[in-house]
Amino acid sequence: MSKKRKVRVELRKNWQKQNRTRSNDLTREFRRDETGPVASAPSSDRVRPRGELSRHRTIIEDVDAAARDPNSPHDAAATRAVDASACLQGRVIRINGLTLLVRADDGQNYTCHVRRLLKSLAIEGRNVVTVGDRVWFRPGGPAGAEGVVERVESRKGVITRGYRNRQQVLAANVDQLLIVSALAEPGLKLGLVDRYLVSAEIGGVRPVVVFNKADLVDMADYQWVVGLYAQLGYETVVTSAADGRGIDRLRELVSSGVTAFSGQSGVGKSSLLNVIQPGLNLKVREVSDWTFKGKHTTTTAELIELACGGFVVDTPGLRQFELWGVIPGELEAYFIEFRGFIPHCRFPDCSHSHEHGCAVKEAVYWGQIHTGRYESYRKLYDQQPLPGD
């Protein structure tokens, strides 16, 4: 039997709700009369505490779960004690609004919702649960009642982005990320590919760069792009759902572990999956004739089991992908071609932007670092907030 202990945890702050004021205060007129009973009533006594005191709560924690990774930050949602005799373990395979579809370890699917306490815990992430999470849940009763997710295990291999000044976890417990970019319709955005590469390295996920819709272009004009990322050590695959180019290699890549497909809207992620496994019938849609951008077809992430043996996460198409939690001074480490030149910079805290004696800038000048990759670094550096902002 595992040991339990009580811990004090912080709840998620909702300042908008805390600062809300009533627009129609029926007692306002009475307060104008200083001689009335309202004016003489004590104003300092409160039934419920306010401020920081009300944003904490005591929970029962599983000591064994908390000790599994002592180097990781404390995550109350992953260490909260549960009744193992009444709960099952499983993996979240789909999220639709407030409802989750959880596949138990025995293969049976359960519809669940998240316990309200877990939603209130102050953990990193836009949502407390995401596709791919390992969870403990209490099955629902008869007549199709929903189960309740009681605990979310610690994550490994995460794909995240910044969204409205918060962290959004796109997928969890992922082994590799297939970064899909279209050579045409809507066209290459190498800056977006570079953002994904940084995010994959931060999350501990192996990246693979996929250049799709090769049937629409003359590949002789794009060999330099494929060679650029291949020379940096990233696996690159040229694909086409129309003529089957590269599909066999993709099928090999996704045949084991968990693979996330991500990229800009309209690049053909769902089309590739439909070819990799016929019969999936995922919805596909063309690029907008008005904006020349991809339309959102996949609106929610879903974990799909493939006949070849692996799992894939088809994530929604994104038009914006901001990095999350990257300090500007640490960004250089995620551009692997910089690493051999950084020690030769004149200043140890060189930002590689304006300093004299910068070895990275010299390497760009002599063609040892591609100009486009350097511009991606500069743009990302300028966009990252400084510590304390």
DSSP secondary structure of 109-153: EEEEEE-HHHHHB--SSSSS--TT-EEEEE---TTT--EEEEEEP
Closest CA to 207 of 225, 223, 194, 189: 194
Which residue type occupies 196?
Y
The model's pLDDT over 355-369, given as tens digits with 9 standing for 90+, comes to 999 999 999 999 999
Which has more pLDDT, 33 or 329? 329
> What is residue 266's predicted lDDT score, i.e. its pLDDT?
86
b/e burial code for range 200-222 (CB count within 10 A of at least 16 → b): bbbbebbbbbbbbbbeebeeeeb
Which has more pLDDT, 52 or 310? 310
Mean of pLDDT over the chain: 81
Cβ–Cβ < 8 Å for 42, 55: no
Which of 56-60, 195-199, 313-317 has the lowest average pLDDT?
56-60
Whether residue 37 has pLDDT greater than 60: no
> What is residue 102's predicted lDDT score, i.e. its pLDDT?
95
> What is residue 96's predicted lDDT score, i.e. its pLDDT?
86
Beta bridge partners of 56: 10
Beta bridge partners of 59: 7
Domains of the chain, with CATH numbers?
A: 82-152 (2.40.50.140), 159-314 (3.40.50.300), 335-383 (1.10.40.50)
% pLDDT > 70, the chain: 71
> What is residue 97's predicted lDDT score, i.e. its pLDDT?
81
> What is residue 42's predicted lDDT score, i.e. its pLDDT?
46
Q: Please report which confidence band the pLDDT of residue 323 belongs to, taking 50, 70 and 90 as the band edges.
A: confident
> What is residue 76's predicted lDDT score, i.e. its pLDDT?
62
The model's pLDDT over 138-153, given as tens digits with 9 standing for 90+, comes to 998 776 789 999 999 9
Measure the CA–CA gap between 202 and 200, rounded to whole angstroms.
5
Which has more pLDDT, 323 or 68? 323
Q: Label the pairing between strands 235-238 and 206-212.
A: parallel
pTM for the whole thing? 0.78
